[in-house]
Structure 1
Amino acid sequence: MRLSSNIITGRIPPELGQLTQVTGLYLDDNAIAGEIPRSLANLTSLQRMNLAQNRLTGKIPVEFLALKRLRYLNVSHNQLTGAIPDGAPLSTMDPENFAGNPGLCGKPLSPCPTKP
């Protein structure tokens, strides 16, 4: 599903998680805001997802660790925060795919600060 560069606004509809046969989801280069819905982890056939260059906030859902077929995830240039869920497939992605999110940390980026 390619919806890149369409000036889409609003939030990612959680109902997209019902499209379980989708192998690619491209929502990059829009004006999408809000959090990444956990329901996208239901896309068990997903191999590629690009959410870069939007206005996404919050954390990357830990449920994404269940996306065992995912080979490419790009969430760069958003406003995401917190630790990248630790484990494959996320920890093995290219660090550039997480760039431009100053509040994001953890593998494959720099370690998160430890609390004293």
Structure 2
Amino acid sequence: MFEKIEEVIARNNLKYHVDGSTLKLKPGRGGGTVKIKYDHATESYAYNCDEYRLILASFLMFSFAFNRLFQPEQQLWSGALTGLLFALAIFGLFQILLAHIQILDIKTQLRDVDIYLKPDF
């Protein structure tokens, strides 16, 4: 079921784990995890980069950071915490971007072996 995908992943020296009909892939150091699922009914593959979870986490971090900017008490901690929250939010958005760029490369290589991935929301 995942033999051709495992060959492509092995060529790229990526870490992965197969769990039933799901293959969990770690594309790189900064990128998030990518899940490739096999649907037995339609015999197709779908991928998910967990972008909704990362977007929600980044939105919450931006919200907390902007909220923290307008609290005048504890100025030193407020500035440090705001900077940390902004950094975490930007890192989450960077993970989404990096995972999608890396999955585009993998999708191109998988098309060469006649496997087509569709987005799974």
- Give TM-score, length-normalised by structure 2: 0.24
TM-score normalised by length of structure 1: 0.25
Greater helix content: 2
Structure number, greater radius of gyration: 2
